[in-house]
Copies of this chain bind each other. A is one copy, B any other.
């Protein structure tokens, strides 16, 4: 692991690091915020997965979560959204290839060699974070848009790894959305049965979630037709999953929406992770 930069923030440290990932077969950049409480011992850890076109940097600079992490004593990990580098396949569209890994393991050409973002998060980066930073084995996960999809699906697939779960404007039903069908077809192939295991609304009915879930969604979001919060809302109700899903009047899809409700989410995770 190489340190790219470290800056003091809210008495803690906002760092940016890179490492060579065996899983994605390329160098990966990620950011970690360590709160001041980490000086006195390991702290719980919240994962924030970003949306389409983002890198590790967007939420790190725009979401304002570090203030809340310092208040509650949580670390926050900001991974990148795809493999990177000249060797990695890409597409001209903003929503396929680099910046659009969808937090799944691609099985199809040309994506399969590097687009293993599911394994990257839960294996490579998880192990690295656990070893290199003062974090407890008490992790939560959240994310925005494509990252909200990633948070929901990775938590439900790996409940042994994540104890708390929330999402901001998640792509909630990708197998029924143009933010999902195109990518699942490219990365996973034509067998739609495989898609269901990567669709939060379907996965919830299949696998469930052993704890509770917080979802915030802007009612003025310009991408509501693609996000399909109604599918997730229905699934949460049908499965009787303890949950809070809030349609926030007037808010759009931007980081102003994320930052506005950031405190609520960090507090949610802090309470459940023992921070």
A94 within 8 A of B: no
CA distance A14 to B14 in the complex (A): 26
Q: Is residue A17 contacting chain B, with contact meaning CB distance below 8 A? A: no
What band does the interface of chain A fall in when counting residues whose beta carbon is under 8 Å from B? 20 to 34
Instruction: Among B14, B66, B67, B250, point to the contact of A8 (Cβ < 8 A).
Output: B250
In the bound complex, what is the Cα–Cα distance between A259 and B7 (angstroms)?
12
In this assembly, does A177 line the interface, its C-beta being within 8 Å of a C-beta of chain B?
no
Q: Are A8 and B64 in contact (CB under 8 A)?
A: no
Q: Is A119 an interface residue (CB 8 A)?
A: no
Q: A256, B64: Cβ atoms under 8 Å?
A: no
Q: How far is the CB of A101 from chain B (nearest CB, A)?
A: 24
Q: How far is the CA of A11 from the CA of B249 in the complex (A)?
A: 9
Q: When the two chains form their complex, are residues B61 and A64 in contact, meaning their CB atoms are under 8 A apart?
A: no
Whether A90 sits at the interface, judged by CB under 8 Å, is no
A168 to chain B, nearest CB (A): 14
* Residue in chain B with minimal CB distance to A253: B7
A67 / chain B contacts, CB cutoff of 8 Å: 64, 259-260
A10–B260 CA distance with the chains assembled, in angstroms:
5
- A64 to chain B: closest residue by CB: B64
Cross-chain contact B9 with A66 (CB below 8 angstroms): no
Q: Name the 9 nearest CB pairs between A and B, nearest first.
A: A9-B256, A64-B64, A8-B250, A7-B256, A8-B251, A10-B260, A7-B254, A61-B62, A7-B252
